[in-house]
């Protein structure tokens, strides 16, 4: 099976997790896939397994994005690269962790879109898929990561307005808990990391997310799947928990 209107795809954060699953899925559907990530050894394994083309690149390097992304006629951009440093709390967060999260999750995504759009618009063919998160849609007590994914949400909705009439489609994918290496890279404290990972629920897989992306890409040209929100059946969001303010006399 091939996706009707698309021949080439570029996937960032492709060395593991969702990115690697998307590369494998799109290669299996007959697309020429460019896999972008920092870890050369992981990319080599992915290329051997899927036949993708690999590019060792840190998406925070704007010049490198311009040189590579702008030189390829890409039909599908999968903006997947992301990190969750400072995910626990803004209070006391390491400034370097804040910068890494914003630079990777937001700034790099903006530059990636900017680099591929001119060719898409000129050819009248293209699809931008931004990997957001339920953390960008609902309050989840994670100011830094939530803010970064909230930016991706509004990038996606506003980009739809900017591109109206060009034929370029924009999709935002908002997963909940996914079984990946995310928390291993996001949290240094082993006890806290284990606590965050041990949820007792059946998490969705990277392949589930890849299938959702394929659904959006495979829709007829006149259908824009604007947003897909997917999460474990045992996980949900919203509501409010009331906690007494520390040090405040509640009878006053």
Dump pLDDT digits (tens) for 156-190. Answer: 999 999 999 999 999 999 998 886 555 555 555 55
**Cβ within 8 Å of residue 19, ≥6 positions away:** 11, 12, 13, 35, 37, 78, 80, 81
Closest-CA residue to 206 (of 232, 186, 180, 236): 180
DSSP-derived secondary structure letter, 73: -
Are the C-beta atoms of 31 and 5 separated by less than 8 Å? Answer: no
Where does residue 37 rank: exposed (0-12), middle (13-18), buried (19+ CB within 10 A)?
buried
- Looking at the chain, the number of H-run helices and the number of E-run strands are 9, 7
Read off the pLDDT of residues 24-45 as tens digits, 9 standing for 90 and up.
999 999 999 999 999 999 999 9
Per-residue confidence (pLDDT) for residue 1, from 0 to 100:
45
Per-residue confidence (pLDDT) for residue 252, from 0 to 100:
47
- Please tell me the distance from the alpha carbon of residue 35 to that of residue 50, in angstroms, as a whole number: 10
Closest-CA residue to 137 (of 211, 224, 237, 240): 237
Q: Please, which residues bridge with residue 151 across strands? A: none
- Sketch the domain layout of the chain as residue ranges: 8-230
pLDDT band at residue 154 using 50, 70 and 90 as cut-offs: very high
Q: CATH classification of 8-230, choosing from 3.40.50.11540, 3.40.50.300, 3.40.50.720, 3.90.1010.10?
A: 3.40.50.720
6 is catalytic: no
Pick the catalytic residue from 145, 215, 222, 237. 145
pTM as predicted: 0.86
Tell me the C-alpha to C-alpha distance, in Å, between residue 105 and each of 49, 79, 130, 161, 224: 27, 9, 10, 21, 23
Closest-CA residue to 75 (of 207, 209, 208, 167): 167
Q: In what order do the strands lie in the sheet with 8-12?
A: 53-56, 32-37, 8-12, 76-79, 127-131, 169-175, 227-230
Which residue matches tokens 């999750």?
A: 105
């Amino acid at each position: 099976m091939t996706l009707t209107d698309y021949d080439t795809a570029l996937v960032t954060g492709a060395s593991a997790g969702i990115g690697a699953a998307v590369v494998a899925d799109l290669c299996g559907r007959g697309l020429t896939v460019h896999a972008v990530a920092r870890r050369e050894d992981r990319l080599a394994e992915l290329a051997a397994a899927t036949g993708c083309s690999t590019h060792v690149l840190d998406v925070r390097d704007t010049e490198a994005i311009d040189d590579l992304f702008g030189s390829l006629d890409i039909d599908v951009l999968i903006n997947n690269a992301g990190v969750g440093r400072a995910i626990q709390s803004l209070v006391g967060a390491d400034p370097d962790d804040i910068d890494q999260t914003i630079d990777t999750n937001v700034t790099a995504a903006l530059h990636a879109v900017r680099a591929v759009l001119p060719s898409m618009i000129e050819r009248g063919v293209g699809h931008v898929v931004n990997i957001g998160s339920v953390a960008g849609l609902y309050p989840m007590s994670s100011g830094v990561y939530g803010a970064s994914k909230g930016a991706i949400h509004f990038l996606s909705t506003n980009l739809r307005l900017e591109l109206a009439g060009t034929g370029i489609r924009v999709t935002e994918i908002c997963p909940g808990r996914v079984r990946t290496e995310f928390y291993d890279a996001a949290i240094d404290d082993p006890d806290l990391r284990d606590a965050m990972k041990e949820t007792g629920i059946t998490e969705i897989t990277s392949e589930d997310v890849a299938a959702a992306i394929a659904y959006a890409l495979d829709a007829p040209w006149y259908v824009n799947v604007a947003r897909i929100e997917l999460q474990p059946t045992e996980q949900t969001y919203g509501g409010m928990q009331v906690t007494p303010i520390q040090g405040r006399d509640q009878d006053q």
